[in-house]
């Protein structure tokens, strides 16, 4: 037996008990029994992990046999993922998303959200002014399937009936479904097309704003602006905010493509996509909530003040959830 074999044998003899102990604890944990480890065993794991790292360092430095080095590398890797890796249950992961990941992602998009909101509000104002001064603009701005008879040729009585009709739920439900589908598509496309230098995203956000402004102008021309605003905003406070955030997520990716900094464009876009993706996951939740308000609340709540109250309350809650300072999370 040569000197190298003697050193390797002595090295194993001195430290192998710790390696086997660490391996046994990891085997138990990896079989789904981590919750059964005692407090003493949980405290022992980091110590055994550091001892294994020390052994691996010595083995590499003294050129001990390759099989021993491979074993220690595997053992150290497994221990690392147990000691430092995320081991959260589904309920904990969901709580982390709502408590930290989603609001942090939206807060991180505040510049893009401001830009998206300015485009949306500006387009809505333009749509309003165009139609209020020349009703012929309405047909150019508002798609026919979205107007559904609500156009400058409609009577005031018909337009008002739509706002308060509680006897034709089937028709209202179909329209609510159409609006929800339309705004969902706009939100998804605004995000997905952001990589094209932000241009399609800006156009989609502006188009949504123009349609809103044109519709409000139509009702304002009949003295129904307040009533129509409540009818729209009971769900729109959530739905339109979600669309603005989706636009912001698209801008985040598009801006990274335009100005990648010192990184390759693909890498910069991927980094931006991680933040934007978390925000978009939340947008889906907002759209579902808006769909419930649109399909149920707007059809059963017909008091204007109640509709506006729900709109302001939901908007205030979203703003507080996303932007109010909160304690540091671990």
Contacts of 56 (CB under 8 A, 6+ apart): 69, 72, 73, 76
What's the total number of domains in the chain? 2
Give me the pLDDT at residue 329, please.
46
Residue 328 belongs to a domain: no
Neighbouring residues of 28: CB distance < 8 A, sequence distance ≥ 6? 34, 36, 37
Q: What is the mean pLDDT of residues 96-107?
A: 93
What is the CB neighbour count within 10 angstroms for residue 85? 9
Alpha-carbon dihedral angle through residues 11, 17, 20, 24, given to the nearest 10 degrees: -160
The token duo for 15 is 């430290």
- Do 252 and 235 share a structural domain? yes
Per-residue pLDDT reduced to its tens digit, 123-150: 999 999 999 999 999 999 987 666 677 8
CB atoms within 10 A of CB 20: 12
Query: Which tens digit of pLDDT belongs to each residue from 168-197?
Result: 555 555 555 666 677 788 888 999 898 888
Residue 309 has a pLDDT of 96
What's the rounded Cα separation, in Å, for the pair 118 and 106? 17
Q: Does residue 74 share a domain with residue 104?
A: no
Same domain membership, residue 203 and residue 78: no
Regarding whether 129 and 72 lie in a shared domain, the answer is: no
Name the domain boundary from 67, 87, 107.
Answer: 87
- Can you tell me the distance from the alpha carbon of 94 to that of 134, in angstroms, rounded to the nearest whole number? 50
- If asked whether residues 61 and 35 sit together in one domain, one would say yes
Under a CB-based contact definition with an 8 Å cutoff, are residues 239 and 219 in contact? Answer: no
236-286: pLDDT as tens digits: 999 999 999 999 999 999 999 999 888 888 888 888 988 899 999 999 999
Res 198 pLDDT > 90: yes
Please identify, among 87, 115, 139, the residue that sits at the C-terminal boundary of a domain: 87
Kindly tell me the burial class for residue 301, based on how many C-beta atoms sit within 10 Å of its own C-beta (0-12, 13-18, 19 or more): middle
Which residue's entry shows tokens 């419930």?
Answer: 292
User: Where in the sequence is the domain holding 155, given as residue range(s)?
Assistant: 93-323
Which candidate, 299, 192, 187, places its Cα nearest to that of 240? 187
Same domain, 311 and 196: yes
């Amino acid at each position: 037996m040569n000197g190298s074999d003697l050193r390797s044998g002595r090295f194993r003899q001195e430290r192998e008990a710790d390696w086997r102990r660490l391996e046994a604890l990891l085997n138990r944990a990896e079989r789904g029994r981590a919750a059964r480890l005692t407090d003493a065993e949980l405290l022992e794991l980091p110590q055994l992990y550091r001892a294994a790292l020390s052994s691996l360092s010595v083995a590499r430095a003294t050129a001990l046999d390759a099989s021993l080095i491979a074993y220690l590398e595997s053992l150290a890797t497994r221990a690392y993922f147990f000691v430092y890796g995320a081991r959260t249950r589904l309920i904990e992961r969901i709580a982390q998303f709502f408590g930290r990941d989603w609001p942090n992602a939206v807060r991180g998009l505040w510049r893009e959200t401001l830009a998206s909101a300015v485009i949306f509000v500006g387009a809505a104002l333009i749509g309003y002014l165009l139609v209020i001064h020349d009703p012929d603009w309405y047909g150019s701005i508002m798609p026919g399937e979205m107007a559904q008879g609500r156009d400058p040729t409609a009577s005031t009585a018909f337009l008002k009936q739509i706002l308060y009709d509680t006897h034709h739920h089937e028709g209202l439900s179909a329209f609510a479904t159409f609006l929800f589908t339309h705004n969902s598509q706009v939100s998804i496309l605004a995000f997905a097309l952001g990589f094209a230098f932000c241009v399609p995203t800006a156009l989609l956000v502006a188009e949504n704003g123009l349609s809103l402004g044109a519709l409000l102008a139509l009702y304002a021309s009949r003295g129904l602006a307040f009533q129509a605003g409540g009818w729209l905003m009971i769900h729109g406070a959530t739905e339109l905010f979600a669309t603005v955030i989706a636009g912001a997520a698209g801008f985040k990716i598009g801006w990274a493509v335009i100005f990648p900094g010192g990184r390759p464009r693909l890498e910069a876009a991927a980094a931006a996509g991680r933040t934007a993706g978390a925000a978009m996951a939340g947008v889906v939740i907002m759209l579902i909530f808006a769909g419930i308000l649109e399909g149920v609340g707007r059809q059963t709540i017909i008091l204007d003040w109640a509709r506006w109250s729900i709109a302001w309350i939901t908007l205030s809650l979203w703003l507080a959830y996303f932007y109010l300072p909160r304690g540091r999370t671990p």
